[in-house]
Amino acid sequence: MSGRETVLGKVRRALAVSGSESDREAAVEQRLASPAAGVIPKRGQLEGAARVDLFCKMAEAVQAGVTRVASSDDVPEAIAKFLRQNNLPAEIRLGADDRLAGLPWEKTPNLTRKSGPSDGRDLTGVSHALGGVAETGTLVLHSGSDNPTTLNFLPDTHIVVVNAGDIAGDYETVWQRIRATFGKGVMPRTVNWVTGPSRSADIEQTLLLGAHGPRALQIIVIGGTA
Amino acid sequence: MRITAPAFKENAQNALTDLHLQRALEHVEAGFIHKRAKVVAALPEFDALRDAARDIKNHTLEHLDLYLEAYEKAATKAGGQVHWAETGGDARAIILDICRKAGAKTITKGKSMVSEEININDFLAENGIEPVETDLGEYIIQLRGEPPSHIIAPAVHLTKDQVEADFRRVHTHLDAARDLSESTSLLAEARGVLRDKFLAADVGMTGANFLVAETGTSVIVTNEGNGDLTQVLPRVHIVIASIEKVVPTLEDVSTLLRVLARSATGQDMTVYNTFSTGPRRPGDPDGPEEYHVVILDNGRTAMLGNEFHDMLRCIRCGACMNHCPVYHAIGGHAYGTPYVGPMGAVLAPALFGLDEAANLPNASTFCGRCESVCPMRIPLPKLMRHWREKEFERGLAPATQRWGLGVWAYFAQHPRLYRLSTRLAIGALGWLGKKKGRFRALPLAGGWTRHRDLPAPSSRTFIDQIRDREQ
C-alpha cells in the first residue's frame, strides 16, 4: 500500500468515515467553490484618502519608509532623491513591469537601471506591487518576469511602488483581485505579503533590522491624497 | 534530537542552577508577553478572530481526508509533486531521494519544527549532504549542536555573549580582532556568512505554516526573509508539512495569520508571509524548477477523533510556552523533546510515546494561562490531564504516587471518614503551628519543606467553619 493510501486510510478510520459520504463531499466542495471571508477587523475599513493614510501609518509603524507622490511621473525623481539622501549609488535593478518601464526615466539621466532577477550583488531593487493592505501596512507582490521575486529579498534596499487605488482595506479584497486576474483556484508561483523590512529578535529578544532580506524598505505611494 | 524527557526532573534541576539560562529566560517574560498584550489590546476583534480560527480548524479536521485530497489535486495541477509519508523514516527516505536525484551537496533550510521532529539534519549529514540552517536562531543552535529550546525562538536560552563565543569559534576565516560586542555585529556576520550558503545551495527545504486546499499553495511565515531565500534560489524546493496544516481557502489562511502573528511575536503581521504554488512558470526569471511537498502523518492520526483531537488545531505560535510559569523557570531544553512548554507536554506523548514523555504532562501547575492565551482555544490543561489519566491507567506513575493517590481515593469515597480525619489532622497541625504560624520541617512533607515553609492551617476545617457561620 502506498504512503498516500496508508495516511488517508488512517485519517478515515480515525474519523470513522469512508470518504464518499455525499454530505461531507458537498460541504467541502461548497467551501472551496465559494470562499467566504471571516472576521474582518474594522480598522482597515476606510474609504479613499483615509485608507491610504492608514496604510502609510501602519507601514511606518513597522519601520518602512513612505514617500507619497502625486503622479507616476514623479516616481523616478523620488527614487533618485531617496538614493541620494541615503548615500546609496544611483543604480537600481528592476523587472519588466510595464508600469515601471513607462515611467519618465529621462528625468533622472544619472540613474542607472539594470533589468532582470538579482544575483545577490545589487544594492537596490525596485518592484511594483500588485496592491497594499491598509489594515497592517502590508504590500502584496507576485512573481513573474515583471517583478522577479529575488528583487524582494536579495538587495539591501527594496523600493516598492504602489498605486493608491490598489490599496485595499483587508487581505480578502486582494485575494479577490488575484482570483479575478489569474483565474479561480489559480495562483502565481509566489505571492509575497511584505510588512516592513527584514528583522530578527533571535538574540536576547532584541529587535534588529536587516536579517537576511532587505535592511530597508521604501514604499512610494502614487496618488491617494485628499 | 535525542529525546531526554525521561530525565525531566534532573534536566529541570540543572536548568534552575544554570545562570546563563536563567539570565536569558528573563527576556521571555519581558519580551513576548508584553508585546502580545499590546497588539491584542489594539484589536477589538481579536477574540472573535480566535473563535473563527478555532472553527476553521475544527471544520477542516472533520473533513481532513477530503481537504488533503483537494490540496493534492490543486498542488499537482500547478506542477507540484506531492509525496505522502506515514512515518518520520518514510519522510527521510523521500527527502534523501529527492536530494540525491538533484545531486545535492548542500541544502539550505528554513525553520521547520517538523524537520526537527524527524531528525532530518543528522540523517542528511550521515548521507553526505550538508544541511545549513538559515534562521538566525536555528543557525546559532546548529553551530552549538543543540536542539531548539522554543518553537519560534530556538536560541532564546542563550545570551549575546554565548553567541559571540560561538561565532568566534566557528567563523575562523574572519578577522580575530573584529568587534562583536553589539548584537547588530552578530547579525551582520551571520547575514554575510549565510548569504554565500544561500547562493550555493542545490536544494532548499522549508516547512509550511499552512497548506491551502483551494489553490495547492504552501505558506511560510518568517521575519528574517531566510525562508524566502531558501526557496527562491536553489533549483529544487522541498516543503515538509504535517497533515493538520491543511486549511480550505485563502480567506481561511488570512484569518489564521491575523491570530498567528499577534500570538507569536506580538506583531500585527509577520514581515514575510509567502504563498508558494508549484515550480517556476514559463517566463518566470527566478524560482525553483522543482517543487516537492512531503505530507507527513507521524502519529497525528492517532490523535484524530479522540480526546486529543483539539491539539491538532495548534498553529505553533508559542504563546502557551511564553506564558507558562514552568517554562519561565526551566526553559525548553529540560523538556527533552523538540516540542516544549504546554503544547509540547500534550504533543510529545502522542508523537514519541507516553513511556518516553510521561513526565511532561506532569510538568504543569494547571494554572490555565496557556489555555487563556491560546489563539486556537485548545484546552491544554484538560489534554495534559488526559495524559496523566493514561499514565495512571497504564501504571507508569511511580509507586509512591500511585499508593498516595489510592489512599486519598479511599478517603474521598468515604466522606465521614474523610471529614473526621481531616478535622483531626488540621486540628493537630493548627495547634502545633500556632506559635510560629509555619512549619520549617514536617514528616512526610519533606518535598515541600525542603524548599519553603509550610503555612500552618487554621485549626478548624473549611466545612466546620462554614457550619459555624450558618448557625
Asked if A119 and A29 sit in the same domain, the reply is no
- Provide the mean pLDDT of chain A: 96
Kindly state the average pLDDT of the residues B195-213.
97
Selecting from A27, A175, A195 the residue whose C-beta is nearest the C-beta of B250 gives A175
Q: What is the pLDDT of residue B29?
A: 81
Q: Which residues form the domain of B249?
A: 43-298
Q: Which residues of B touch A10 (CB under 8 A)?
A: 86, 297, 301
**Where is A220: in which H helix or E strand?**
strand A216-222
Kindly state the average pLDDT of the residues A80-99.
97
Residue B331 resides in a domain: no
Q: What is the pLDDT of residue B450?
A: 87
Kindly state the average pLDDT of the residues B157-171.
96
Of B298, B330, B363, which residue sits at a domain end?
B298
Residue B364 resides in a domain: no
Task: Give the Cβ contact number of residue B405 at 10 Å.
Answer: 13
pLDDT exceeds 70 at position B402:
yes
- Provide the mean pLDDT of chain B: 95
What would the pLDDT profile of A11-22 be if each residue is shown by its tens digit? 999 999 999 999
Smallest CA–CA distance from A188 into chain B, residue: B277
Asked if A20 and A132 sit in the same domain, the reply is no
Asked if A118 and A171 sit in the same domain, the reply is yes
pLDDT exceeds 80 at position A1:
no
What would the pLDDT profile of A146-199 be if each residue is shown by its tens digit? 999 999 999 999 999 999 999 999 999 999 999 999 999 999 999 999 999 999
How far, in Å, CA of B325 to CA of A58, rounded?
A: 33
pLDDT exceeds 80 at position B98:
yes
Of B267, B298, B329, which residue sits at a domain end?
B298
Q: What is the pLDDT of residue B366?
A: 95
Residue B343 resides in a domain: no
Residue B447 resides in a domain: yes
What would the pLDDT profile of B322-361 be if each residue is shown by its tens digit? 999 999 999 999 999 999 999 999 999 999 999 999 999 9
pLDDT exceeds 70 at position B431:
yes
Q: What is the pLDDT of residue B443?
A: 82
Q: Which residues of B touch A181 (CB under 8 A)?
A: none
CA distance to partner chain B, nearest, from residue A67 (Å): 20
pLDDT exceeds 90 at position A225:
no
For residue B201, the domain's CATH number is: 3.40.50.10420
What would the pLDDT profile of B134-155 be if each residue is shown by its tens digit? 999 999 999 999 999 999 999 9
Asked if A117 and A169 sit in the same domain, the reply is yes
Q: Which residues form the domain of A163?
A: 42-222
Task: Give the Cβ contact number of residue A127 at 10 Å.
Answer: 27
How far, in Å, CA of B410 to CA of B413, rounded?
A: 5
CA distance to partner chain A, nearest, from residue B337 (Å): 20
Strands B203-206 and B106-109, bridge-based pairing? parallel
Asked if A110 and A216 sit in the same domain, the reply is yes
Query: pLDDT category, B205, cuts 50, 70, 90?
Result: very high
Kindly state the average pLDDT of the residues A109-137.
96
pLDDT exceeds 90 at position A9:
yes
Asked if A111 and A17 sit in the same domain, the reply is no
How far, in Å, CA of A58 to CA of A194, rounded?
A: 12
CA-to-CA separations, B113 to B110, B298, B315, in angstroms, rounded: 10, 13, 11
Asked if B284 and B432 sit in the same domain, the reply is no
Kindly state the average pLDDT of the residues A110-137.
96
For residue A56, the domain's CATH number is: 3.40.50.10420
The total of structural domains in chain B comes to 2
CA-to-CA separations, B199 to A216, B155, B252, in angstroms, rounded: 21, 25, 34
Asked if A120 and A188 sit in the same domain, the reply is yes
CA distance to partner chain A, nearest, from residue B160 (Å): 6
Of B250, B265, B298, which residue sits at a domain end?
B298
Asked if A48 and A121 sit in the same domain, the reply is yes
pLDDT exceeds 80 at position A226:
no
Question: Residues 6 or more apart from A174 whose CB is under 8 A from it?
Answer: A130, A131, A133, A140, A168
Reported pTM: 0.94
Q: Which A-chain residues 26-45 have CB contacts (< 8 A) with chain B?
A: 27-28, 31-32, 35-43
Work out the percent of chain B whose per-residue pLDDT is above 70: 100
Q: What is the pLDDT of residue B30?
A: 80
Selecting from B66, B84, B275 the residue whose C-beta is nearest the C-beta of A28 gives B66
Residue B420 resides in a domain: yes
Instruction: Cite the beta strand spans of A24-166 per DSSP E.
Output: 65-69, 91-94, 112-115, 124-128, 131-133, 138-142, 157-163
